[in-house]
Amino acid sequence: MSFLVLAIGLVLVVEGLVFALAPSRLDEVVELIRRIPPETRRIIGLAAVALGTALIWLAQRLAG
């Protein structure tokens, strides 16, 4: 359970930094993402999930 809380905390820190350090740039990024076709966005999302899963697995293997 503490691992899940840690993961959520890390996500919030990274997301918060984007909003805190570059709020005006965020509009440009959203517009850029809007121009990417939905199927490409889906593939990018699935790749991010796979990479995240692999990193979590690696972190657990290195820790134990």
pLDDT in tens, 18-64: 899 988 898 999 999 999 999 999 999 999 999 999 998 998 899 87
Number of domains the chain contains: 1
1 pLDDT tier (thresholds 50, 70, 90)? confident
Range of the domain at 32: 1-63
Which residues are CB-contacts of 56 (< 8 A; sequence separation ≥ 6)? Answer: 7
Q: How far is CA 1 from CA 4, 5, 6, 11, 45, in A?
A: 5, 7, 9, 16, 25
Q: What is the pLDDT of residue 14?
A: 93
